[in-house]
């Protein structure tokens, strides 16, 4: 019988932003896997699903989440170990759900895991269930219209701030979202000021956490935000 | 007492892709509004919510959906009429939910309506609940990883195909999504071929309808797809 590994997006943090499908997949799976950076503590996706379904039995999977090029070797090795432990688990399973915040196909720990599992056992079917992404939550809370008519949209990471960001912000009909913008906030704000986008920018700090905030970018200090901040610039040519 | 108008994203079509929050907002609203282009027929968002909650009482709102610059006057006038009818309805309400496919802040009929309502009665609070977008559904069904590491993402409409599309596809580390790509599919495929992206492209046809399909772009004929097709090109530099 065919076994399936399903990446399940559980949204940005508010358990209410889980989809009906994510819930039904969790309830019908015989193995539920959740990434964590410390096996003694629940990761964010586990916390989200347990607040909706406290009776789920969750198996924690140790993941390495050091970002960027410096972390990729560690993340790949962790994904290989995780794939091995899933495939060699004593528990028999037909359908394993791996939960992940946001969407499982967008900057997600699920991608590396799926590649590792697929490499070890090509017979396992890989599927995914979309989830609401952090920037959608920030846009809704800021009360802004992200896109309309023939406007376009760019999503970048803030790990490297350079020409790409300046080019993106220089197009007044393009909405721009920056993930992981916290570390370079000072330089991002400078670029936004040069391109006339600072005053209309928003920032989501600790998106999905209980102490999350959505604020205007111009009023936000570099020192007060974490690495995982989400920046949103709506189009200015309207 | 403050009245609220809430744009509720109900996802791309599969009722299971509605969020828990969209359902709870619908259940707690005393007026549920759904756009349609023909008052005698249910629009897509109405069909989605009734398949999950058949007991909801829905008020249809006539909308004009002719796309592009040619349609904007008609769409604005329809939004003004809709806002007027909502504000002058005989039914008293505190919380009105306007349902929309996808996300209410991304290419949605909700934006124009919210602007019209806000212009007529600034006291009404405007809120929104995010929804899964069509491209996320196409990506999940195609089984592709959209973004990882420091890759970026661009979303364009296919209403005008020109330099912007060629520039977007020329960046091999950028995922590119094209909404409303059906009408110009021939020219989009040519541009994808020139930039080396044709073979890795996917297309979602009639996304969210019962006869929807997700296929590889290279095998798809211009004549067989509708205006509302969603094209997805994952990054090629991996």
Give me the residue spans of the domains in chain A: 4-129, 134-233
Structure tokens, A211: 């102490």
pLDDT band at B146 (very low <50, low <70, confident <90, very high): very high
Does the pLDDT at position B155 exceed 70? yes
Q: Alpha carbon B75 to chain centroid distance?
A: 15
Residue B47 has pLDDT above 90, yes or no: yes
pLDDT at residue B17, as a whole number = 98
Q: Is pLDDT at B68 greater than 70 in this prediction?
A: no
Instruction: Closest CB to B145: pick one of A111, A148, A156.
Output: A111
Which three-class secondary structure state does DSSP give residue A204? Answer: strand
pTM equals: 0.96
Closest by Cα among A206, A204, A199, A230 to A215: A204
Q: In Å, what is the CA distance from A233 to each residue of A49, A145, A147, B102, B179? A: 31, 10, 11, 20, 20
Contact A160/B at CB under 8 A: yes
pLDDT values of chain A reduced to their tens digit, one per residue, 238 residues: 789 999 999 999 999 999 999 999 999 999 999 999 999 999 999 999 999 999 999 999 998 877 666 678 888 999 999 999 999 886 789 999 999 999 999 999 999 999 999 999 999 999 999 999 999 999 999 999 999 988 999 999 988 788 899 999 999 999 999 999 888 999 999 999 999 999 999 999 999 888 899 999 999 987 778 877 999 999 998 8
pLDDT of residue A67: 67
Name beta bridge partners: B60. B34
Q: Which among B50, B32, B41 is positioned nearest to B98, based on CA atoms?
A: B32
Closest chain B residue to the Cα of A165, Cα to Cα: B152
- For residue B35, pLDDT over 70 is answered with yes
CATH 2.70.210.12 at B134-233, yes or no: no
The answer to whether the CB atoms of A157 and B153 lie below 8 A apart is no
3-class SS shares of chain A: helix, strand, coil, % to 5: 35, 25, 40
The whole-number pLDDT of residue A104 equals 98
The percentage of chain B sitting over the pLDDT mark of 70, rounded to a whole number, equals 98
Angle at A48 between CA B22 and CA A178, to 5 degrees: 75
Q: In chain B, positions 120-159, which contact chain A (CB-CB < 8 Å)?
A: 126-132, 136-137, 139-140, 143-150, 152-157, 159
Query: β-strand B95-100 against B4-9: which pairing, if any?
Result: parallel
Class of the CATH-defined domain A4-129:
alpha beta
pLDDT for the residue B67: 67
**Contacts for A211 with CB less than 8 Å, ≥ 6 apart:** none
Q: Positive or negative CA dihedral for B40, B46, B52, B53?
A: negative
Over its C-alpha atoms, chain A yields an Rg (Å, rounded) of: 19
Cα–Cα distance for residue pair B86/B81, rounded to 1 Å: 9
List the Cα angle B40/B46/B51 in 5-degree steps: 120
d(CA B82, CA A48) in angstroms, rounded, equals 38
Reported ipTM: 0.96
- Which is it for the CA torsion A175, B177, B127, A22, positive or negative? negative
Q: At which residue do the structure tokens 């198996």 appear? A: A59
Query: A137 to chain B: nearest residue by CA?
Result: B130
The pLDDT of residue A68 is: 66
Of A140, A156, A164, the CB nearest to B130: A140
């Amino acid at each position: 019988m065919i076994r399936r590994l399903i990446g399940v997006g559980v949204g940005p943090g508010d358990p209410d932003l889980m989809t009906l499908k994510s819930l039904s997949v969790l309830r019908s799976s015989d193995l539920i896997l959740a990434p964590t950076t410390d096996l003694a503590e629940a990761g964010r996706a586990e916390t989200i699903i347990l607040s909706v379904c406290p009776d789920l039995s969750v198996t924690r999977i140790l993941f390495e989440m050091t970002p960027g090029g410096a972390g990729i070797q560690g993340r790949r090795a962790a994904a290989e170990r995780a794939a091995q432990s899933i495939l060699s688990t004593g528990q028999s399973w037909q359908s394993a759900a791996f939960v992940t915040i946001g969407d499982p196909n967008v900057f997600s720990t699920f991608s590396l895991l799926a590649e590792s599992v697929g490499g070890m056992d090509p017979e396992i079917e890989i599927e995914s269930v979309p989830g609401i992404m952090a920037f959608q939550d920030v846009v809704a809370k800021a009360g802004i219209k992200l896109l309309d008519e023939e406007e376009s949209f760019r999503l970048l990471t803030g790990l490297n701030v350079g020409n790409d960001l300046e080019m993106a912000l220089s197009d007044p009909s393009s909405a721009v979202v920056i993930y992981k913008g916290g570390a370079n906030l000072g330089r991002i704000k400078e670029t936004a000021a040069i391109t006339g986008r600072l005053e209309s920018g928003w920032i989501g700090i600790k998106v999905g956490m209980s102490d999350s905030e959505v604020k205007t970018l111009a009023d936000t200090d570099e020192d007060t935000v974490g690495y995982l901040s989400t920046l949103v610039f709506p189009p200015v040519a309207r």
